[in-house]
Amino acid sequence: MKTLIAYYSFTGNNAILAASLKERLGADLYEITEPRPRKGTTILLDILLGRRPRINPPTVNATRYDRVILVGPVWNAKIASPVASFLAWLKGKIPSYGYVTLCGGRDGQQEKMVRELGRIAGKPPLFVRQLALRDWLPEDRKANAKKGTSFKISAADLVSFRPAIDELVGELSQKTEKSML
């Protein structure tokens, strides 16, 4: 099964996660980019106004893939607007997709994410995984993680998320094996 990991990362945190998933799954990697650098105020305006920003025209042929794994932040219990713009572009081009986020982990946002993704794509996601900083980081790092976009992880920090990443990779690998039978 051919997999594309398409990611957007405002702080770099989700870029680290996407690179790790690419390596673990042997997938292709594509970065969702915008014409201009994003600022915190544009995030707030996107949330308040429910708008989707322009993204740079995608240069990936999505129809070559059996599934797309979107990786990106969640802002105020909503899919990051550049990822939402990319998903709208993908609509009708792929058989299945899922969403993985490294985020603060607000209570109740998982269900909202599933509904929003389904509304944008016209079909429900195969899966949604929320790797909440508050659940996985060591105690001495959790206080700073509550600051959201100002918190930065390193590739070494992904060790804290290993059980959740291993579980996701295992599930995706099983789905690949089953689809080949």
pLDDT at residue 164, as a whole number: 85
The structure's pTM equals 0.87
What is the number of structural domains in the chain?
Answer: 1
What pLDDT digit, counting tens, does each position of 117-138 carry? Answer: 999 999 999 999 998 877 766 6
67-121 pLDDT tens trace: 999 999 999 889 999 999 999 999 999 999 999 998 877 888 889 999 999 999 9
Reported for 164-167, long-range contacts at CB under 8 A and 24+ positions apart, including other chains, are 164/129, 164/131, 164/136, 165/17, 165/20, 165/21, 165/24, 165/131
Q: Is 25 helix (H, G, I), strand (E, B) or coil?
A: helix
- Quick one: pLDDT band at residue 10, thresholds 50, 70, 90? very high
Task: Quote the domain boundaries for residue 87.
Answer: 3-180
- Output the furthest CA–CA distance in the chain (Å, rounded): 49
CATH number at residue 58: 3.40.50.360
Q: Give the separation between CA 104 and CA 132, rounded to whole angstroms.
A: 5
Q: Return the pLDDT at 124.
A: 95
Q: Residue 41: what pLDDT?
A: 84
Over the stretch 17-46, which tens digit does the pLDDT of each residue have?
A: 999 999 999 999 999 999 998 888 888 888
Amino acid at 146: K
pLDDT digits (tens, 9 = 90+) for 153-172: 778 878 878 888 888 888 88
pLDDT score recorded for residue 143: 63
Residues in CB range of 41: below 8 A, 6 or more apart: none
pLDDT at 179 over 80: no
